Structure 1
Amino acid sequence: MEKFLFEESHFFSQEFTALLRHSVFIMPNWKWIILLIAIVLGVILRPAFQFIIKEIKSHNPWIKRFPNSFTAYFFRLEVERPLAWIVVALCWFAVDDAIELTGKFELYYEHVLKAFLAIHVIRLVYHAVDALSYVLANIAAKTESTMDDQLVPFASKILKVLVVVLGVLIVLQSFGLNVMSLLAGLGLGGLALALAAQDTAANLFGSVTILIDNPCKIGDWVKVKDVEGTVEEIGFRSTRIRTFYNSVITIPNATMAKETIDNMGVRPARRIRQVLGLVYETSPELIEEFCSRVRYHILQDEKVVKDTVVVSFNNFNASTLDVLVNFHLQVYTGLEELEHQQRLFLDILKIAAEMKVDFAYPTSTVYYRGAQG
Structure 2
Amino acid sequence: MEADDIVLYSLDKPLAIALIAGSVWISVTFIIDPAALLGEYAWLVSEKCFAAAAILIAAWVVSSFVYNFITLYGRWMASKTETDLDDRIVRVLELAARYVIWFIAILMVLQMLEVDITPLVAGAGLAGLAVALAAQDIVSNFFGGAVILADKPFAVGDRIKIDSYLGDVVSIGPRSTRIKTLDHQMVTIPNSMVSSSVIVNYAMPDVKLKIKIPISAAYGSDIKRVKEILIEIGCEAAARSKYVLSDPAPSAYFLEFGASSLDFMLIIWARAFNLAWDVQDYVNTRVYERFAEEGIEIPFPQMDVHVRE
TM class, shorter-chain normalised?
0.5 to 0.7
Residue of structure 1 in register with 2:262 after alignment: 321
Residue of structure 2 in register with 1:250 after alignment: 188
Distance 1:150 1:339 in 2: 37
Residue of structure 2 in register with 1:271 after alignment: 210
- 1:226-247 Cα shifts (integer Å, max 9, x gaps): 2222222222321122222233
Alignment of 1:84-103 (within 5 A): none
Q: How much has 1:150 moved relative to structure 2?
A: 7.3
Distance 1:235 1:218 in 2: 11
Q: How much has 1:260 moved relative to structure 2?
A: 1.5
After TM superposition, the score normalised by the length of structure 1 is 0.47
Residue 153 of structure 1 pairs with residue 80 of structure 2 = yes
Say how many residue pairs are matched.
205
Distance 2:227 2:165 in 1: 41
AA aligned to 2:281 is Q
Q: How much has 1:299 moved relative to structure 2?
A: 4.1
Residue of structure 1 in register with 2:59 after alignment: none
AA aligned to 2:283 is L
AA aligned to 2:221 is T
Q: Which runs of 5+ in 2 are unaligned?
A: 1-75, 96-101, 107-119
Change (3 A) 1:288 1:214: closer
Residue of structure 2 in register with 1:203 after alignment: 141
Residue 310 of structure 1 pairs with residue 251 of structure 2 = yes
Contact 1:305 1:330 in 2 (8 A): no
Contact 1:150 1:217 in 2 (8 A): no
Alignment of 1:26-37 (within 5 A): none
The DSSP-based 3-state class of the residue aligned with 1:287 is: helix
Residue of structure 1 in register with 2:30 after alignment: none
The DSSP-based 3-state class of the residue aligned with 2:296 is: coil
Alignment of 1:55-204 (within 5 A): 153=80, 160-161=87-88, 188=124, 189-204=127-142
AA aligned to 2:194 is M
Contact 2:210 2:269 in 1 (8 A): yes
Larger RCO (CA within 8 A; separation ≥ 6):
2
Change (3 A) 1:233 1:346: same
Change (3 A) 1:367 1:253: same
Q: How much has 1:203 moved relative to structure 2?
A: 0.7
Contact 1:221 1:229 in 2 (8 A): yes
Provide the alpha-carbon RMSD of the alignment: 3.6
Distance 1:218 1:225 in 2: 18
Change (3 A) 1:198 1:285: closer
Structure 1 moving runs of 4+ over 6 Å: 162-166
Distance 1:264 1:289 in 2: 30
Contact 1:291 1:313 in 2 (8 A): no
In our comparison, the structure showing a higher alpha carbon Rg is 1
- 1:175-228 Cα shifts (integer Å, max 9, x gaps): xxxxx99xx99x954453233212111111111111121111222211112222
Residue of structure 1 in register with 2:164 after alignment: 226
The DSSP-based 3-state class of the residue aligned with 1:192 is: helix
Q: Which runs of 5+ in 1 are unaligned?
A: 1-148, 169-179
| Correspondent of 2:152 among 214, 222, 227 | 214
Contact 1:231 1:239 in 2 (8 A): yes
Q: How much has 1:325 moved relative to structure 2?
A: 0.5
Residue 339 of structure 1 pairs with residue 278 of structure 2 = yes
